[in-house]
């Protein structure tokens, strides 16, 4: 990561490379202000291989749903260690920090981490730790966490085996995984495949974004032998 700078300077550096827009949200009564790329379609001419498709640059409804759940359930993450997978512009990790968690935000793209850093600081939460990581080669030294969180990260079936390994290697025995998804078929198949080994609690979260209402699936996963997991919604 780049040497720490004040966030206005970091924002100016991002603006030199991207056309930006500021999004104002209220999530679970928490006002938030996020900067993101105005239109990810404008970035597609920079893409030369599938790994470079800039999914990270969008604010997805699933991230709003996860942020809402985190902020409405602060006691379930306060003072815990949390790893965010595929942080994108950082919303879910920011919500976890506002809820009192110690968060490591990770992504495959360096610029995603810069956006997440700026958005943390402009929303008054410490930037904290950031991890540049490829799920296919996720660093073992990242350690173990009480919660793994991710919003709309199950869209690519070819990465499901890598996520499965991360879940096993980086979740503490009494921990939980919180995932949100907009109802993708690949996600449903992945969760169904875990149900023999993991306890799955699913609930629906309504999200309103850009004048559209959608329903986001929230999955809470814990190891089947974990007797300490909180089964309440």
- Tell me: the pLDDT tens digits for 176-222? 999 999 999 999 999 999 998 999 999 999 999 998 999 999 999 99
pLDDT at residue 1 above 50? no
Mean pLDDT, residues 87-107: 98
What DSSP letter does each residue of 139-152 carry, written as one string?
A: -GGG--EEEEEEES
Per-residue pLDDT, 229: 58
For residue range 114-134, list pLDDT tens digits in order: 999 999 999 999 888 999 999
Q: What is the DSSP letter of 2?
A: P
Q: What is the mean pLDDT of residues 8-26?
A: 90
CATH numbers and ranges of domains, the chain: 7-223 (3.40.50.150)
Token pair listed for 126: 């410490």
Long-range (24+ apart) CB contacts under 8 A made by 58-61 are 58/88, 58/89, 59/23, 59/34, 59/88, 59/89, 59/91, 59/209, 60/88, 60/151, 60/152, 60/182, 61/182, 61/207, 61/209, 61/214, 61/216
pLDDT in tens, 21-77: 999 999 999 999 999 999 878 777 776 677 777 888 899 999 999 999 999 999 999
């Amino acid at each position: 990561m780049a040497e720490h700078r004040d966030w206005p300077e970091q924002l100016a550096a991002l603006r030199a490379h991207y056309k930006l827009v500021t999004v104002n949200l209220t999530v679970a009564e928490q006002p938030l202000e996020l900067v993101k790329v105005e239109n990810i379609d404008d970035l597609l001419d920079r893409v030369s291989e599938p790994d470079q498709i800039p999914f990270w640059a969008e604010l997805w409804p699933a991230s709003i749903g996860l942020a809402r759940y985190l902020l409405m359930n602060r006691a379930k993450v306060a003072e815990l260690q949390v790893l965010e997978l595929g942080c994108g512009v950082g919303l879910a990790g920011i919500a976890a920090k506002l809820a009192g968690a110690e968060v490591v935000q990770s992504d495959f793209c360096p610029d995603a981490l810069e956006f997440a850093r700026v958005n943390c600081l402009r929303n008054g939460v410490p930037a904290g730790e950031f991890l540049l990581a490829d799920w296919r080669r996720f660093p073992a030294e990242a350690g173990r966490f009480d919660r793994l969180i991710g919003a709309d990260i199950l869209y690519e079936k070819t990465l499901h085996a890598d996520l499965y390994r991360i879940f096993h290697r980086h979740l503490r025995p009494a921990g939980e995984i919180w995932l949100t998804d907009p109802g993708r078929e690949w996600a449903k198949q992945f969760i169904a495949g875990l149900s023999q080994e993991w306890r799955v609690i699913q609930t629906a979260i309504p999200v309103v974004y850009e004048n559209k209402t959608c329903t986001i699936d929230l999955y809470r996963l814990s190891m089947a032998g974990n007797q300490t997991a909180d089964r309440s919604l």
